[in-house]
């Protein structure tokens, strides 16, 4: 067989270009990370050739004796890592995982509580333009205007008033710990199913750096590629009582054939996360994020909720007289990737919001410590101050390249 370079030089060159971009750029997008060579080898393997609709030992195609072993390893390691009773490792990504859960336990029109998108939630947690908000009756809870925190007494009030069939806890832009236990107590009080979407913090939970909702919650979904540092994909974990419905919701309900090469990558990532050094990584991710938040606040930036307990923070860039989009564009020019973000009660539009979300998972993987993260904040601050000075930005770009050379990624 011919190599990629021989078959398609354009794609080969673009992959080289993207690899260079990653090598010489600082990655602060809170949902991104660098997966290991081992995970990439598994996902780039001949397992991509296989069809295996169904589950271990119950496939609709022949030739699955090896795939069954791969999927079972992924399941067993996921159960060991998170302590769940049942694991379905087939979801292709976070939204399909959530969709399969809704299909499994709800009927269209059923009521669910979920955190509002611009308060840190996720599109698939009930936003009106998303399938979740279109098909189901999501009632959204918010963070408090003064503190930026979820007020659990208010969540309880809403739950008692609305009597939802399910309560969903989870986020994509909330920097504080979630009170899983309290969510469970509230759900029990109103007879609701509990669902947690831990996509952002799964690696911190697996690394035992923050509390795990799995012992309390009925159903827990997560992507595998964020703090967990695996391949792009997701898993659904649940109590045994929900196992049959969840499996049926995912296949045949939501998906066809699983991506066996990716499931092999998930198995490798779970094995890596079971090692003691992953626990150190998870703690370092939080320390680094806290160092960045403290330095930003020292320099006059307002952080939503006043800090972070996890890997991310949302900065109100209007506290520096610039929008989230302007900040993202200026930082991109010097080689720092971030993502613009709405802030709670934002008066600006989502395409040009007030906030900027940053996170520490990727730079921590690359070996940056707290002092290194403070240095990154110094560069961010100088970039924001010089955001319309192209010559200054060019100079900072060179600094970033030199900094990246000290933290080699693939070279
Ligand atoms: N797109 C992901 C994030 O950036 O948080 C969530 O799906």
* 289 and 247 together in one domain: no
Rounded CA separation 112/259 (Å): 30
CB 94 near ligand 1, within 6 Å = yes
CA-closest residue to ligand 1 atom 3: 31
Residue 200 lies in a domain: yes
* 268 and 289 together in one domain: no
Q: Residue 27 has what pLDDT?
A: 98
Report, as an integer, the average pLDDT of 329-352.
97
Residue 73 lies in domain:
40-273
**Is the pLDDT confidence value at 411 over 90?**
no
Q: Which residues of 352-391 are buried (b: 16+ CB within 10 A; e: fewer)?
A: ebbbbbbbbbbbbbbebebebbbebbebbbbbbebbeeee
Concerning whether 369 is annotated as a catalytic residue, the answer is no
Rounded CA separation 155/190 (Å): 12
Residues 6+ apart with CB under 8 A from 179: 150, 152
Q: Which of 273, 298, 329 is at the close of a domain?
A: 273
Q: Which of 197, 218, 260, 316 is catalytic?
A: 197
Average pLDDT, the chain: 98
CA-closest residue to ligand 1 atom 6: 172
**Largest alpha-carbon pair distance within the chain?**
64
Beta carbons of 122 and 176 less than 8 angstroms apart: no
Atom of ligand 1 nearest to the CA of 339: 4
* 135 and 243 together in one domain: yes
**Is the pLDDT confidence value at 276 over 90?**
yes
Residues 33-53 pLDDT 10s: 999 999 999 999 999 999 999
Residue 233 lies in a domain: yes
Burial label for 282, CB within 10 Å (0-12, 13-18, 19+), is: buried
Residues 356-376 pLDDT 10s: 999 999 999 999 999 999 999
Residues 6+ apart with CB under 8 A from 28: 331, 336, 337, 338, 358, 359, 360, 362, 363, 376
What is the number of structural domains in the chain? 2
Report, as an integer, the average pLDDT of 392-404.
98
Residues 177-206 pLDDT 10s: 999 999 999 999 999 999 999 999 999 999
Distance (Å) from CA 339 to ligand 1 centroid? 10
- CATH (domain of 315): 3.90.1150.10
* 247 and 298 together in one domain: no
Distance (Å) from CA 3 to ligand 1 centroid? 33
**Is the pLDDT confidence value at 208 over 90?**
yes
Distance (Å) from CA 31 to ligand 1 centroid? 6
- CATH (domain of 172): 3.40.640.10
Q: Residue 382 has what pLDDT?
A: 98
The percentage of the chain sitting over the pLDDT mark of 90, rounded to a whole number, equals 100
């Amino acid at each position: 067989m011919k190599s990629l370079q021989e078959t398609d030089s354009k794609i080969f060159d673009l992959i080289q270009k993207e690899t260079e971009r990653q090598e010489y750029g600082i990655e602060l997008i809170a949902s991104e990370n660098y997966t290991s060579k081992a995970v990439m080898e598994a996902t780039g393997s001949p397992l991509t050739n296989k069809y295996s609709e169904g589950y271990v030992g119950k496939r609709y195609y022949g030739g699955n004796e090896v795939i069954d072993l791969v999927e079972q390893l992924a399941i067993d390691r996921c159960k060991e890592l998170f302590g769940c009773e049942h694991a379905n490792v087939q979801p292709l990504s976070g939204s399909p995982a959530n969709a399969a859960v809704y299909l499994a336990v709800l009927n269209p029109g059923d009521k669910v509580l979920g955190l509002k998108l611009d308060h840190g939630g996720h599109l698939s947690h009930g936003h009106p333009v998303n399938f979740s908000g279109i098909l189901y009756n999501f009632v959204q809870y918010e963070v408090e205007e003064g503190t930026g925190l979820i007020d659990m007494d208010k969540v309880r009030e809403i739950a008692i008033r609305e009597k939802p069939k399910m309560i969903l806890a989870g986020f994509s832009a909330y920097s504080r710990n979630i009170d899983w236990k309290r969510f469970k107590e509230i759900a029990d009080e109103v007879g609701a199913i509990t669902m947690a979407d831990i996509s952002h913090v799964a690696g911190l939970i697996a690394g035992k750096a923050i509390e795990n909702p799995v012992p309390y919650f009925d159903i827990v979904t997560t992507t595998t590629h964020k703090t967990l540092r695996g391949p792009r994909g997701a898993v659904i974990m649940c109590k045994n009582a929900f196992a049959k419905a969840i499996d049926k919701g995912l296949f045949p309900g939501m998906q066809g054939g699983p991506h066996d090469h990716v499931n092999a990558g998930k198995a490798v990532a779970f094995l890596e996360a079971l090692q003691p050094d992953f626990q150190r990584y998870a703690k370092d991710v939080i320390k680094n994020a806290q160092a960045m938040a403290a330095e930003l606040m020292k320099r006059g930036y307002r952080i939503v909720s006043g800090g972070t307990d996890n890997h991310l923070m949302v900065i109100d860039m209007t506290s520096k007289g610039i929008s989230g989009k302007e900040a993202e564009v200026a930082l991109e020019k010097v080689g720092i990737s971030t993502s613009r973000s709405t802030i709670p009660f934002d008066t600006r539009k989502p395409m040009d919001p007030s906030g900027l979300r940053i996170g520490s998972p990727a730079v921590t993987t690359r070996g940056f410590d707290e002092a290194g993260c403070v240095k990154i904040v110094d560069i961010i601050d100088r970039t924001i101050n010089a955001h319309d000075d192209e010559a200054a930005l060019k100079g900072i770009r060179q600094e970033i390249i030199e900094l990246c050379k000290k933290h080699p990624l693939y070279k």
